[in-house]
Structure 1
C-alpha cells in the first residue's frame, strides 16, 4: 500500500494540471454516483471524514458515517450540498463505515442503496427511501436479504427492470463469501481467501431487484469478465481484473460494465450484450489519480456522457480525504471509450 499522505508532490502545480476541479470543496466527498433525474444532476457520494482510524489494507481509515446529496443545475454549475441525507445512527442494523452508495428513481420515489458494516463487523447492503432526490431518506430496518460486500450500483434497463451490481475485494470482504457463507478466519488479513494468481479472478455480483426495489428477486450470481479470447480474467491479472466500484451504462444497445482495479488504480471496462454479461474487456477509462482509491460513475446528461470520479489532490494526498470531480466521456465511432488522463502532461 502507498503511504497515507504523499509528501513529494507539488499539489499547487498538480491542481493546476488537473483536468477538472472539485465539484464541492467545503467537505470531502468520494465515490460519486451521478444520476440525471428530471432535468437535474444529482450526485450521491460517500462523505469522507478524518475518523482517526489506523491506516490499513482493511480500509479502517475510511470511517464515513453519513451521506450528503450534491446537486448541479447543469454540468458547468457549482455543486449544491443538501446536507445530511442519511446517518448511520438512523440505520438500525448498521454500526459503521457507510461506504460508496448509489441511488435509483421509480414511480416518484427515490431509493438510496448503501453498504455498511453491521454490529457483527460484516458488510451488508441496505436501502432507504425518500419522496425527494435529496432526502432525507428513511432506511429499512434490515439489510437487503442475501446482500453482502460493498459498492452497490443499480442500473435501470429500458424495459423497466432494475439490477444491482456489487462487490469489493480486501476490506470489501467479497473474498470471504467464496463458499456462500462468510468466512471469519484470519480477520486481520485483507488478502486471505483470495484465489491464486493463475486461478479465475473473483467476479462482481449481480441480482435483479424486486418491483419495489427493496429486495433481490433472485440469488446473486457472478458477472463474468472475459478477455478477447473468451477466457475469464485471472486473479493475477491485476491491471484488468475486478477489484471494486462496479457500474453499468448502456450505449447504442450495448452494455458497458466498468470498475476499479484497486491496487493498480485503473478504471476499466468491458462490453456485453446482456446486463448479466459476459463482458469482454476493452480497455481503460481512467488512468490513476492521486490517492489510493479510484471510484466512478458514468451518467448521460442531455446528449453527452460524463465520467464522475474522485482524487485526493485537494487534501494534498491524504488517501481517505477525497474530492469528487467530473469530465466528459467520449465513445468513439466503434463504441470504444477514449481513455482519460486526469492530469495534463
Structure 2
C-alpha cells in the first residue's frame, strides 16, 4: 500500500550546508548533541519510518529516493555496525523538492534475496535497457559483504534479485554513475564494518587489519558495468584520491581520506567523486578528468551532522543542484536516522560551497 507523507520543506538561501551518516558505530563520535530542533538547516523528508543513506535520482520526471531502512532490532552496538541490521528497502518519490513525498512500499526484502545472510545496507539505482536496476550490499551466507543487483520495470519496484551477487564484487555502498556516452560504472567500498580492509588486489583475507597512521589510506574501488548492468566488464580497480601535491593520503589524514559512501556526479565536464571520511564525519570531494580518476581533493561538501558518519547523494533537478543526506534529528540515536535535502552551490571555479547542517554554523 502506498503512503503519502505530507511534508513542507523549508526552502533555503544560497548559502547552505548539510550532512549525513552511514552504517557504522557511534563509539568514537566527536559530535556534540544538538537538542534545539530549530537550529537544523533542513527538516526530515520522511517521518513515518527511519531512513538513511539516500540515493536520489531523477526518473520519469520525478525525484526517486532509494534509502536504507533503519529499524530497532535490539542488536548490540559495535564498531562493525552490527546494530545496523536492515531487512528491506522502501522507495520514495516526489514531484519536486518541497513537494509531497510518496512511500511506494517495500521494494525488496532480504528474504527474497537467495544468497543473502544479513544486513541489507545502503543501495543505489540506475536505468538502462528499458529496466530499472537496484544495487545493494548484503552479507552472504559466509558473512562477507557482496554487492547484488535486482531489476524492475518501474522505478519504484518491486525489484527481483538475481540469484547470485555480482561476480567480483565486495564491500559496501555501491554507487552507479552513467556517463554522457551511456557507459555505466559502479563505485563502492567502506572500511571498518564495510570490510574493505580485508581486500587486497581483489583477494579476500579475513585476518587483514585496518591501516595505521603513516600507512597509505585504503582506496575506494570501481569497475565498468557490462551492457547487461549485471556484471563487471573489467577487473575491479582502486581509485586514487590525491592531495594538491599529487600524493596519496595516509591513514592519519582521516579528515580527508576515504572511509565509505561513494558518490559520483559530473559538472561542466569534470567528474566529482565525493565520499565520507567516516570517523571525522565530513562529506569530502575530489575532482578528476575521467571516471577512473585520479581525483584531486578539493574540500568538504558537508560538515558533520548530528549522529555519526555521513552518506549522501548529489543530483541536478531542472538546473538546480541538491544534496540529499541524513542525520538523527528524529531519534537522537545513531542507528535510527532520517533523510534530508538542501541546495548545493558551486563557486565560479567549479568548487563546491561547504554546507553546514545547522543555521548560523
Displacement, 1:2?
Answer: 3.9
CA distance in 1 between counterparts of 2:181 and 2:161 reads 27
The C-alpha deviation readout for 1:81-133, integer Å capped at 9, x for no partner, is: 11100000000000111000000001321000000001100000000000000
Displacement, 1:301?
Answer: 0.5
Superposed counterparts of 1:97-246, under 5 Å: 97-185=119-207, 193-246=209-262
Displacement, 1:195?
Answer: 2.2
Aligned to 2:42: 20
Query: Does the alignment pair 1:341 with 2:361?
Result: no
CA distance in 2 between counterparts of 1:254 and 1:28 reads 34
Superposed counterparts of 1:242-261, under 5 Å: 242-261=258-277
CA distance in 1 between counterparts of 2:130 and 2:34 reads 47
If asked which structure has higher relative contact order (CA below 8 Å, sep 6+), I would say 2
CA contact (8 A) 1:284 1:339 kept: yes
CA distance in 2 between counterparts of 1:269 and 1:210 reads 27
Displacement, 1:8?
Answer: 7.8
Q: Assess, with a 3 A threshold, how the Cα gap between structure 1 residues 4 and 62 changes in structure 2: closer, same or farther.
A: farther
Matched residue SS, 1:229: coil
CA contact (8 A) 1:24 1:78 kept: no
CA distance in 1 between counterparts of 2:203 and 2:231 reads 19
> Structure 2 unaligned runs (5+)?
1-24
CA contact (8 A) 2:34 2:306 kept: no
Aligned to 2:73: 51
Q: Assess, with a 3 A threshold, how the Cα gap between structure 1 residues 270 and 79 changes in structure 2: closer, same or farther.
A: same
Displacement, 1:10?
Answer: 5.4
Aligned to 1:265: 281
Task: State the Cα RMSD in Å.
Answer: 1.6
Structure 2 length normalisation: TM-score? 0.90
Query: Does the alignment pair 1:329 with 2:344?
Result: yes
CA contact (8 A) 1:200 1:234 kept: yes
> Structure 1 unaligned runs (5+)?
186-191
Q: Assess, with a 3 A threshold, how the Cα gap between structure 1 residues 303 and 28 changes in structure 2: closer, same or farther.
A: same
Displacement, 1:196?
Answer: 2.5
Query: Does the alignment pair 1:313 with 2:329?
Result: yes
CA contact (8 A) 1:261 1:268 kept: yes
Displacement, 1:76?
Answer: 1.1
The C-alpha deviation readout for 1:48-78, integer Å capped at 9, x for no partner, is: 0001111100000000010000101101113
Matched residue SS, 1:270: strand
Structure 1 length normalisation: TM-score? 0.95
Aligned to 2:101: 79
Aligned to 1:188: none
